[in-house]
């Protein structure tokens, strides 16, 4: 492997590289994005904004049809921004993988979930790889953005692409560049989040960096695909472990009758050596609950036990049960059992002001309450419908249910909710997000 890398590093730029550099630099390169979800759609929009012709590829015909009508299905991409790009011909989408033959670049932005056994499900990446391999041609720049374990790009993707007779770093170019999308973040988005990129060869890295520099504000080249893959895992593992620590502090403080939120706020006044993290009902989203387990799984292959990751995962995974115990205790103090009580959940998205319920702790909390015999309703301005315990639950009007509920549980602290009115109309509130920090009422039970 080392000798192959040295051989590739010594290769001179080919005609294919020179031609591709020119097309990228003058923005005539045809850009492809495979996977048009939370990562792919915003990325496609940024490159279309930069003047490139962008073709999106997705397996869902309904998504492609909506895309081609100029209707954004991602909250962070507004229709008034998206539609003109479609109407001008800068953006279009298809389910036909054969368009790869016409492309100069293609970004793979497909899901990388975990199986129930906590090992990586690489089926989406493999399907994307195989489709690209079938239509691979000289001069194509391939970027994998899907979060994955170190070694995926050179061990799983590269061999299939080179099996067609083309050579990486000479005939085609392969990089890894981790997505860093933060849905609902008004300050940081695809364009202004620094873009890490590492290639199989130095020339691959150069090509990838040049490409991203055309549309994004800052590009950070690194020495290899493995470094780039590890960057994303470090970022999210750091966050997951620190959230696990503060969740454990919340469990301790609860037993000691100490307000954990006050403790954190006071500790955060220290101007050095402390970074505040906050407890909550559990981890959600497409990254933090999942990515660290890619690292844990890979480290086990290397004979290393990732103890911090496993422990933090256990603590964070316990939080929905802890919330249900808080609800049960609060109802008991009000001389009511969980069974038969009406419990209304405020917010089911995994975080504030978004419509994404992937891995949301609210789903676990609702299911646990249903299993204890509670009648559960929910309201969420961004999520009209969820599935729980084999049934469909539709979002309900907030304040009528708040008034009728035996207990209200704030699981997601959406900013548009009138919390003063919630307190006024509720009998009992369990606040898992400190949304009611400024209020002092005997009705409120804090995490």
- Each of the 447 residues of the chain gets a pLDDT tens digit; together they read 444 544 444 455 678 899 999 999 999 999 999 999 999 999 999 999 999 999 999 999 999 999 999 999 998 899 999 999 999 999 999 999 999 999 999 999 999 988 877 788 999 999 999 999 999 999 999 999 999 999 999 999 999 999 989 999 999 999 999 999 888 888 999 999 999 999 999 999 999 999 999 999 999 999 999 999 999 999 999 999 999 999 999 999 999 999 999 999 999 999 999 999 999 999 887 777 777 888 888 888 888 888 888 898 899 999 999 999 999 999 999 999 999 999 999 999 999 999 999 889 999 999 999 999 999 999 999 999 999 878 899 999 999 999 999 999 999 999 999 999 999 999 999 999 999 999 999 999 998
Whether residue 229 is contained in a domain is answered as: no
Same domain as 244, residue 202: no
- What's the domain range around 127? 2-223
Same domain as 278, residue 192: no
Task: Provide the domain count of the chain.
Answer: 2
Whether residue 230 is contained in a domain is answered as: no
Same domain as 284, residue 172: no
The pTM assigned to this predicted structure is 0.88
Same domain as 249, residue 206: no
Asked whether the beta carbons of 428 and 443 are under 8 A apart, the reply is: yes
Same domain as 269, residue 180: no
The DSSP secondary-structure symbol of 106 reads: E
Q: Choose one of 223, 258, 288: the last residue of a domain.
A: 223
Same domain as 252, residue 215: no
Same domain as 246, residue 214: no
CB neighbour burial string for 24-40, b if at least 16 within 10 angstroms, e if fewer: beeeebebbbbbbbbbb
Asked whether the beta carbons of 79 and 72 are under 8 A apart, the reply is: yes
Which candidate, 140, 142, 145, places its Cα nearest to that of 193?
A: 145
Q: How far apart are CA 253 and CA 114, in angstroms?
A: 32
Question: What CATH number does the domain containing 280 carry?
Answer: 3.40.50.720
| Residue 287 designated active-site | yes
Same domain as 256, residue 351: yes
Q: Which of 204, 253, 287, 407 is catalytic?
A: 287
Same domain as 397, residue 257: yes
Q: How far apart are CA 39 and CA 356, in angstroms?
A: 13
Same domain as 77, residue 110: yes
Which candidate, 350, 355, 358, places its Cα nearest to that of 412?
A: 350
Q: How far apart are CA 207 and CA 107, in angstroms?
A: 13
Find the length of the chain.
Answer: 447
Whether residue 232 is contained in a domain is answered as: no
Whether residue 209 is contained in a domain is answered as: yes
């Amino acid at each position: 492997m080392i000798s192959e890398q040295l051989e590739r590093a010594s290769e001179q730029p080919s005609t294919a590289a020179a031609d591709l550099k020119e097309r990228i630099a003058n923005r005539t390169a045809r850009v492809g994005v495979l996977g048009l979800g939370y990562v792919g759609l915003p990325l496609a929009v940024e490159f279309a904004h930069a003047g490139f012709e962008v073709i999106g590829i997705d397996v869902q015909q309904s998504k492609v049809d909506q895309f081609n009508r100029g209707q954004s299905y991602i909250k962070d991409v507004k229709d008034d921004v998206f539609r003109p790009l479609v109407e001008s011909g800068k953006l279009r989408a298809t389910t036909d993988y054969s368009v790869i033959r016409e492309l100069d670049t293609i970004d793979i932005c497909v899901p990388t979930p975990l199986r129930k056994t906590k090992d990586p499900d690489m089926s989406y990446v493999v399907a994307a790889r195989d489709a690209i391999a079938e239509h691979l041609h000289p001069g194509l720049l391939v970027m994998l953005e899907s979060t994955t374990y170190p070694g995926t790009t050179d061990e799983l993707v590269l061999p299939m692409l080179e099996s067609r007779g083309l050579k990486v770093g000479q005939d085609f170019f392969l990089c890894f560049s981790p997505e860093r999308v933060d849905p609902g973040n008004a300050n940081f988005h695809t364009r202004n989040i620094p873009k890490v990129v590492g290639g199989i060869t130095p020339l691959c890295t150069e090509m990838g960096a040049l490409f991203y520099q055309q549309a994004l504000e800052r590009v950070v080249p690194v020495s290899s695909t493995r470094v780039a893959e590890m960057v994303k895992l470090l970022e999210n593992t750091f966050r997951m472990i620190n959230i696990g620590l503060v969740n454990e502090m919340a469990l301790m403080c609860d037993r000691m009758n100490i307000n954990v939120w006050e403790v954190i706020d006071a500790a955060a006044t220290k101007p050095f050596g402390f970074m505040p993290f906050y407890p909550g009902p559990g981890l959600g989203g497409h990254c933090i609950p999942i990515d660290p387990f890619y690292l844990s799984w890979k480290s086990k292959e290397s004979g290393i036990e990732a103890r911090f990751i496993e422990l933090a995962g256990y603590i964070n995974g316990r939080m929905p049960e802890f919330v249900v115990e808080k609800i049960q205790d609060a109802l008991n103090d009000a001389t009511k059992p969980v069974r038969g009580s009406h419990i209304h959940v405020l917010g089911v998205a995994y975080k504030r002001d978004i419509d994404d319920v992937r891995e949301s702790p609210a789903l676990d909390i609702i299911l646990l309450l249903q299993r204890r015999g509670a009648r559960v309703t929910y309201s969420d301005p961004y999520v009209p419908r969820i599935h729980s315990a084999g049934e469909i639950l539709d979002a309900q009007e907030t304040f009528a249910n708040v008034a009728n509920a035996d207990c209200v549980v704030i699981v997601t602290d959406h900013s548009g909710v009138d919390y003063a009115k919630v307190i006024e109309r509720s009998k009992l509130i369990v606040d898992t997000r400190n949304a009611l920090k400024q209020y002092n009422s005997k009705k409120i039970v804090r995490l």
